Amino acid sequence: MNKDISEILVTSEELGEHTRRLGEQITRDFAGKKLFIVGVLNGCIYFLTDLSRHIDLPCRIDFMQASSYGGGTCSCGDITIVKNISGSLQGYDVLLVDDILDTGYTLSCIRDMLLKKGADSVSVAVLLDKPAGRKADIKADYVGVDVPNEFVVGYGFDYNQRYRNLPYIGVLRREVYESAQ
Q: Residue 129 interacts with ligand IMP (CB under 6 A)?
A: no
From the list 102, 112, 120, 137, the catalytic residue is 102
- Specify the stretch interacting with ligand IMP by CB under 6 A; choose among 8-16, 82-90, 102-110, 112-120: 102-110
Residue of 50, 93, 98, 129 that binds ligand IMP (CB under 6 A) = 98
Cβ proximity to Mg ion: between 43 and 144 the closer is 43
Q: Residue 91 CB, nearest distance to ligand IMP (Å)?
A: 27
Q: 43 or 154, CB closer to Mg ion?
A: 43
CA 19, CA 140: separation in Å to the nearest integer? 15
Judged by phi (left if over 0) then psi (alpha if -120 to 50, else beta), residue 160 lies in: left
Burial of 180 (0-12, 13-18, 19+ CB in 10 A): exposed
* Contact yes or no for 127/154 (Cβ under 8 A): no
| Measured distance CA(24)–CA(26) in Å, rounded | 5
Q: Which residues are catalytic?
A: 102
Which residues of this chain interact with ligand IMP, rule CB under 6 A? 43, 69, 75, 98-106, 151-153, 157
